[in-house]
Structure 1
Amino acid sequence: MKHVSILVPRGHTSLVNMEGTYHILSEVNNCLASLDRDPLFKVQLVGISEEATQRNGLFTVTPDLLIKDVKKTDLIIIPATQDPPHIVMELNKEFIPWIIDQYKGGAEIATFCVGAFFLAGTGLLKGRQCATHWKMVNDFRQMFPDVNVVDDRIMTEEDGIYTSGGAYSFLNLLIYLIEKYAGRDVAVLISKTFMIDPDRYSQSPFIIFKGQKEHEDTPILEAQEFIEKNWQEKITVDQLASMFALGRRNLERRFKKATSNTVVEYIQRVKMEAAKKALETSRKSVNELMYDVGYSDTKAFRTVFKRVTGLSPIEYRNKYNKEAATA
């Protein structure tokens, strides 16, 4: 039987992540019983104090055990934490040596949404891939440049460490873990019981692109602003280099360092964001929208759109613009 420790941090934490994980993993045992199989999970809430107040005292969570009482666990669950990262680290620093020791002892770790900031603070994500909420990717990159954060993935797995995107995508990671530990048949049964789509692997369709501007490279900021104001036009790297009196290689190097995107990627992301908004609100044809955002090659536009969003333009419209899709 696998012992699962759902952490109960101090501060503002996702109660949904804690209760939802407890509920779903407990239901796995019920499903296994219906299949005449032994229970798989022993699920417990684990804290560093007898009670943890949440949402300014509106809720109180009482752990089953304190970390000092858990000598060995198999899976640690870190829920999303909503306080600023430095406050989360200070309030919950007693967890850190215990998490590190348990991982070194063979435990696996799963973190949900911005809980990745806390896990990164332990040093265990250094050099590894990580997913977090797409809104927080730029902040994460700034705080933890030695972690390979991927903004398009809904989950990652590396060396027994699992991470997931936005807070409610924890459901997808749980289904993945259930399939790994209990088998595909049980994962399918759980996904049907809780009506969870088991085949979501990307958060790209949900991303709203906002370029990284928390830097002090003035010419690059000006280049970003020019791109964002003139996305209807065909913009080239050489054009920008000439406008801001920078060599092409120097521009590309500084742009990538400041924004975590190449110049071409940034132009594409801004254009695709405009196309997405039009698909959400307009009844224009895909070709009309393509020309509006400065593309003349249908294949190129569709290829870039699919790479950025994970969906074709038609699939995106059908997902987010029901009126146009019906028409």
Structure 2
Amino acid sequence: MISVAIIAQPYCHASGVHGVMDFFATANYCGRKSSGEPLFDCQIVTADDRPVRGYSGALVTPTADREALKPDLIVVGSALEAVVVDHYVQHSLDQARPLFGWLQSAAARGVTLASVCTGSFVLAEAGLLDGLAATTHWRAAALFRQRYPAVRLEVDQLLVDNGQVICAGGATAFSDLCLYLVERLASPAIALACSKLLVLDNRRLEQTPYMSLYGHKTHQDKAIHKAQAWMEEHYADVVVIDAVAGIAGLGTRTFKRRFREATGESPIHYLQQLRVEAAKHLLESSIEQTAQIIWRVGYEDASSFRRLFKRTVGCTMEQYRKRFSYVVPVASAGSGRMTAQA
């Protein structure tokens, strides 16, 4: 039997913690042995062995004494406010500090460690991700990179497996993580049976379709803020970086350096991201033809923009619209023309 400890943190995604429990219980049902012994024994633990209040207000109660457990697998649940409020992160990690020694000892014993969403902050703070690849929620990516430069963040990926340490991005990615863990620790057949019973698709691979431009303004460089504001107003125009540098009151070389230091992006890449975000919004909220959308966001070369969009978002413009559009085409009375209805 495989022993699993699920760490619940204050302000956690409570349904994610209980969802991991439910998933492994489903795996026990799907993979039940003739002896009746379950495949997995799951327990919820906390830093101080006391109940924690989830972000929604739901109470999450530990089911075992943490120090008494010797698990084969530890899953660190998300602390949702790390995504919602950046300045909360340090307070959240201070509360998690009693976990660090326990996690480090487990890692030394060869225990498999996994994180969901911003649970990766706990593993990184404990020094367990140094030199490894990781992922986290896309909205927390800028802060993660700032705090943990020794970790190779692959935020576009929904699941990153280093062997002993596995990270999943996004709060509901616990289902993708559990599917992967059941396949790895039990069998692909049991994982497939869980997928069918829980009516889950096969594992998602990327976060990119869900990402939006966020977190590039947490810096304190007022000149770069000014340039960003101008670019956000004029992204559809012909934009010359030398001119944007002038708006910021900087020389071109200084502007490029400071822009990258402040945002983690080059000015050109930031402009491309603005145009992709504008296209995503139009695909979600209108029935305009894709060629018209490409022109509206400032591109004349449709093929070039389509390649940029797919590389950035992980799917074509048509696939994105099919997945995320919230408008319904409606024929105008007597005209035969189509209009949008939300």
TM-score surpassing 0.5? Answer: yes
How far apart in 1 are the matches of 2:198 and 2:56? 29
Q: Which moved more, 1:289-298 or 1:42-51?
A: 42-51
2:22 aligned partner, one-letter code: H
Question: Contact (CA 8 Å) 2:285, 2:326: kept in 1 or not?
Answer: no
Shift of 1:244: 4.5
1:5 is aligned to 2:5? yes
| SS of match in other structure, 1:5 | strand
How far apart in 2 are the matches of 1:124 and 1:171? 23
1:289 is aligned to 2:293? yes
1:240 is aligned to 2:239? no
Question: Contact (CA 8 Å) 1:134, 1:165: kept in 2 or not?
Answer: yes
1:1-327 matches, within 5 Å, as 1-9=1-9, 11-33=10-32, 39-55=38-54, 59-70=58-69, 72-83=70-81, 84-210=88-214, 212-241=216-245, 243-244=247-248, 246=250, 248-321=252-325, 323-324=327-328
How far apart in 1 are the matches of 2:248 and 2:99? 49
Question: Contact (CA 8 Å) 1:18, 1:79: kept in 2 or not?
Answer: yes
Shift of 1:55: 4.2
Q: Name the count of aligned residue pairs.
A: 325
Per the normalisation by structure 2, the TM-score is 0.86
Question: Contact (CA 8 Å) 1:279, 1:317: kept in 2 or not?
Answer: yes
Question: Contact (CA 8 Å) 1:141, 1:149: kept in 2 or not?
Answer: yes
Shift of 1:56: 8.6
- 5+ unaligned residues in a row in structure 1: which ranges? none
Shift of 1:22: 0.9
1:85 aligned partner, one-letter code: V
How far apart in 2 are the matches of 1:192 and 1:21? 16
Question: Contact (CA 8 Å) 2:14, 2:54: kept in 1 or not?
Answer: no
Q: Give the superposed CA RMSD.
A: 2.5
1:131-175 per-residue CA deviation (whole Å, 9 max, x = no partner) reads: 222222222223333322233111211241111121111111111
Quick one: structure 1 residues 182 and 236, their matched pair in 2 at CA, closer, same or farther if it must change by over 3 Å?
farther
Shift of 1:59: 4.3
| SS of match in other structure, 1:110 | strand
Question: Contact (CA 8 Å) 2:4, 2:74: kept in 1 or not?
Answer: yes
Quick one: structure 1 residues 200 and 69, their matched pair in 2 at CA, closer, same or farther if it must change by over 3 Å?
same
Shift of 1:34: 6.9
1:215-250 per-residue CA deviation (whole Å, 9 max, x = no partner) reads: 233332222222111111132434434555655444
1:2 aligned partner, one-letter code: I
Question: Contact (CA 8 Å) 2:140, 2:215: kept in 1 or not?
Answer: no
1:80-128 per-residue CA deviation (whole Å, 9 max, x = no partner) reads: 1135222222323221100111011101111111222222221212232
2:73 aligned partner, one-letter code: L
Q: Which moved more, 1:182-191 or 1:80-89?
A: 80-89
2:260 aligned partner, one-letter code: K
How far apart in 2 are the matches of 1:325 and 1:197? 28
How far apart in 2 are the matches of 1:38 and 1:263? 58
Shift of 1:291: 0.5
1:182-203 per-residue CA deviation (whole Å, 9 max, x = no partner) reads: 2222221111111222231111
| SS of match in other structure, 2:31 | helix
- 5+ unaligned residues in a row in structure 2: which ranges? 82-87, 331-337
Shift of 1:63: 2.4
1:74 aligned partner, one-letter code: D
How far apart in 2 are the matches of 1:325 and 1:304? 27
How far apart in 2 are the matches of 1:54 and 1:218? 38
How far apart in 2 are the matches of 1:29 and 1:89? 33
How far apart in 1 are the matches of 2:31 and 2:136? 31
1:261-284 per-residue CA deviation (whole Å, 9 max, x = no partner) reads: 122211110000001111111111
Identity across the alignment (%):
29
Per the normalisation by structure 1, the TM-score is 0.90
2:5 aligned partner, one-letter code: S
Shift of 1:29: 1.8
Question: Contact (CA 8 Å) 1:3, 1:43: kept in 2 or not?
Answer: yes
Question: Contact (CA 8 Å) 2:284, 2:327: kept in 1 or not?
Answer: no
Shift of 1:287: 0.5
| SS of match in other structure, 1:69 | coil
